[in-house]
Structure 1
Amino acid sequence: MVIEPAGPNNDNDYEILSLIKQGDRLVYEGFYKKHYKTLHILAFSYVKRHEIAEEIVNDVFINIWNKAADIAINQSFKSYIVRSVANASINYIKKEKVYAEKQEKYTRWTENTLSLEEDMEEKELVLLRLEKALDLLPPQCKKVMMMSRFEKLKQQEIADRLNISIKTVKNHLTYGFSKLRDTLSADGIVITLLIFIVFSLII
């Protein structure tokens, strides 16, 4: 059977595809112009953006032209292109969804990281002020406070190490906490509360 040349308006899809495979650009461009509007509307119904719909349709046709020799269809050529545009549109939506999810995760990670950095800076400031407040205590009182809070020694253990009575240890702790509270209160109640949080973590 001899295939007659097909023009842009030829409705024989198999013949059109055959001519495109032979490199007939006139037939290819005619088919593109004939169906572009319908395919653009189809893509737009998925992606809701005209420029993206246009890009999808153009990419499908470019792919057809470049890989025409490999195309094997068991349906009409138009149906093949319609399905290709629909699939390309769905793939675009999936990629956009994945990208949006990644962006959301990155945004949350960034916000959490910034929040953590701010929190660390605030805690460093608190610890610095705590250190300065401890330096204002009498040497023996500071030593008792440090042994109790940081070394986590029991009062009797502190008494034994410093060769003092347990009552003296208690007096040092009572005086020390009182002076720290008074000193740190000058920095505001927020800082004071943070200090007690820090102490609660290291007790």
Structure 2
Amino acid sequence: MSSSEQEIVNAIRNKEKSVFEALYKEHYRQLFAVAFRYVRNAPAAEEIVHDVFLMIWNKADQLVIQQSIKSYLYRSVVNSSLNFIKKEKTQREKQDVYMRVKTHDTPGGDDEDQQEALLTNLENAIQVLPPKCREVMYLSRFGKLKQQEIADQMQISVKTVKNHLTYGFQKIREHLGNQPQQLWMAALLLLNYLG
């Protein structure tokens, strides 16, 4: 990083608003274009860029930039865009699964309640997993990432990924184990569909 960029970083750490605003104005248009290329949604791209700058301002005292400011901003926007895509994909797939289960055979009230309970219990089972295990499960089941890709993204070994998956499925089975047979079978089908 050049000495002039180091001065900019120091000024932002010292909460010099004018320097921060100048940085924002200088890079906003290009960063918006980068985000839009990924998410294909103008309001979302705008929010991603705003959030990156907001994070920089709020965590200015912890700011560590090893290369140039431009590459730091670019990398931050790309990472945020990828996270947005992953989150959107997860939400869409959850809705698709819900609609599949809900419209499977035009259920009556009781069946519909059971299916709603299944999805709630499945979500609850995933939520009680330890954070790392839960992240591995989401990346595997909803993100459709391979074990090696998960290992690379989380900077852990493939063996650790396998252990998290094994533990996660075991805990989900335990959590759903006391459900009626129909719900248990539906849960297995749901997990297989997601997998």
- Alpha-carbon distance in 2 for matches of 1:104, 1:86: 27
Displacement of 1:34: 0.7
Counterpart for residue 33 of structure 2: 41
What is the aligned partner in structure 2 of residue 61 from structure 1?
53
Higher relative contact order (CA 8 A, sep 6+): 2
| Distance apart, 1:92 and its partner CA | 0.2
Report the counterpart of residue 101 of structure 1 in structure 2.
Answer: 93
CA RMSD in angstroms comes to 2.0
Task: Determine the structure 1 residue equivalent to 2:150.
Answer: none
Q: Establish whether residue 71 from structure 1 lines up as the match of residue 66 from structure 2.
A: no
- Tell me which of 73, 85, 89 is aligned to 2:81: 89
C-alpha separation between the residues in 2 aligned to 1:30 and 1:73? 18
Q: Deviations over 1:33-86 (max 9, x none)?
A: 011000000000000011110000000000000001111121111211110000
- Residue matched to 2:9: 17
Q: For each residue in 1:153-201, what CA deviation from the matched residue of structure 2 results, as whole angstroms up to 9, or x when unmatched?
A: xxxxxxxxxxxxxxxxxxxxxxxxxxxxxxxxxxxxxxxxxxxxxxxxx
Other-structure match for 1:183: none
What is the Cα deviation at residue 13 of structure 1?
Answer: 1.9
Aligned residues: 109
Could you say which residue in structure 2 is the equivalent of 1:145? none
Point out 4+ residue stretches in structure 1 off by more than 6 angstroms.
none
Task: State whether residues 14 and 76 of structure 1, in contact with CA within 8 Å, keep that contact through their aligned partners in structure 2.
Answer: no
> Which amino acid is 2:99 matched to?
T
State the match for 1:31 in structure 2.
23
Unmatched runs of 5 consecutive residues or more in structure 1: 1-10, 121-203
Question: Equivalents in 2 of 1:77, 1:68: separation in Å?
Answer: 13
TM-score by length of 2: 0.53
Identical counterparts, % of pairs: 45
| Counterpart AA for 1:115 | T
* Equivalent in the alignment of 1:117: 108
Q: Deviations over 1:82-119 (max 9, x none)?
A: 1000000000000000110000001111102x52439x
Unmatched 5+ stretches in structure 2: 112-195
